[in-house]
Amino acid sequence: MTDIRHSLLRRDALSAAKELLYHLDIFFNSQLQNVPGSLVDKSTIELVEEFIFQLPKERNAQPKRLSSLQELQLLEIMCCYFQEQSKDAVRQIIFSALFGPQGNKADDNRLAMLGKLVSMAIAICRVPILECTAMWLQRTHAVFCVKLAKVLVEDYCILVPGSVQTLKRIVHASPRFCCQLITAVTALYDLSTDDLIPPQDLLEMVVSWVFEDPRLTLITFLNSAANLPRGFLELTPLPGLIRWCALAPLAYKRNCKTPSAPSFVNGHSNKMCKEVESDGNKDIKILYSKLHLSVLQVLMILQGHLTEKNLYGRLELIMFDHVERLVGDINKLVKELNLSNPVKEVELALDRLAQALQVGIASGALLCARDNLRSICSALPPHNLLQLVLTGPVQQPSHTALPPGFYPHIHTSPARYPMYSTHPVQTYMPGMAFSYRPIR
């Protein structure tokens, strides 16, 4: 590959980039026939940085800058190449050679160009680029994935009103990309501050995707290896979606308590909170309710997939660290909002947390001892459903050792919560007739 550098130097920027893509195509086609899954070497990376991202090889040389028109033409060249290349393996390795982060100063140029390329691919529905991006999101550190997600959200959910419909339709063309995008945006918008509350257009899109097809969230998990390095995006967006549902009631209440300065958050003015609280606009609350229902449905069908892949009880799709952080943030918001009384927002947040924990444990997505859950949830306000989930079923001695007619509690109460009064013992009375009336 180094032999072609001198010929590329004699060309203008666009023709050099097009020629380089042509040589990369020939080179990797040949490489993949001999060594499947061959790696991108250093010389190839240097050529890409010099002739695609216009970073000169000489240290003291000034970097070249493409005009806006030239940049658009370069994006069109790349779009056409990936659309016309029929071999997925070649597409993937060239996409990785172009946009795989290298830990150097060229990474900013890479990410900027990638954001524009993916945004264009969404606009004109270039499925091969979206599929390559989905794989890139799966194999790249989460820091870069979140930056790409931010660019796409700004382009389609904030800057141009109504453009979210273009992005929304992509789910039918590339479900894999949409699954990874959901994972990335839930990592970006974690509701930890008012600035990190998802824009309503983004929320509506994610809810529509997941509500129409809950299995969309499992595409990456079902079509990839189980183990991913730490620091990468999760195998499924479930941890992030659970966080959205549980934190939303408290996060939006905090947003409504902030001073009404004329500022904009995520493309919306802070009058959003008044709209949320008004009787005429309950859309956001309904959206989170639908999302929570969809998440529970996904968790319920997950056990079968884990069993089928021989991963039940071995793969933790909802990490205990995520639960610990979520519980800590709920507790922090309760204290920050000074919600000592069991107001409806706290009740709703804990309801959703308890339901997600229970179904997550039952499905095998969450693998942890209930003692560990009790320890991290001990600071939360008392909550009946959460109490039952944290206690769990307790093995009872055989019924022969119990008094006649006595039915023991299914659950015992942890020390953090008060024990309810016991039910009176109902003895069996053989002379008492049981009134039976069929349903008409």
d(CA 28, CA 34): 10
Q: Which residue has the tokens 């919600």?
A: 339
Q: What is the pLDDT of residue 392?
A: 78
d(CA 150, CA 58): 33
Which among 317, 324, 319 has a CA at the least distance from the CA of 374?
324
pLDDT along the chain (440 residues), means of 10: 79 92 91 72 89 81 84 96 93 94 90 97 96 96 96 95 94 97 97 94 97 95 78 94 96 73 46 46 87 96 91 91 96 83 84 96 92 94 92 58 45 44 44 44
Phi first, then psi: what are they for 265, rounded to 5°? Answer: -125, 120
The three-class DSSP label of residue 193 is: coil
Q: Which residue has the tokens 């529509």?
A: 208
Cα atoms in the 13 Å half-sphere on the side-chain side of 265: 21
In contact, 300 and 231? CB cutoff 8 Å = no
Q: Which two tokens stand for residue 343?
A: 């107001």
Q: For residue 265, what is the DSSP state?
A: E
In contact, 101 and 107? CB cutoff 8 Å = yes
- Model pTM score: 0.84
Q: What is the pLDDT of residue 254?
A: 83
Total residue length of the chain:
440
Q: What is the pLDDT of residue 2?
A: 59
d(CA 51, CA 390): 58
Q: What is the pLDDT of residue 224?
A: 81
d(CA 18, CA 8): 10
Q: What is the pLDDT of residue 48?
A: 92
Question: In DSSP terms, which residues pair with 316 in a beta bridge?
Answer: none
CB neighbourhood size of 153 (10 A): 25
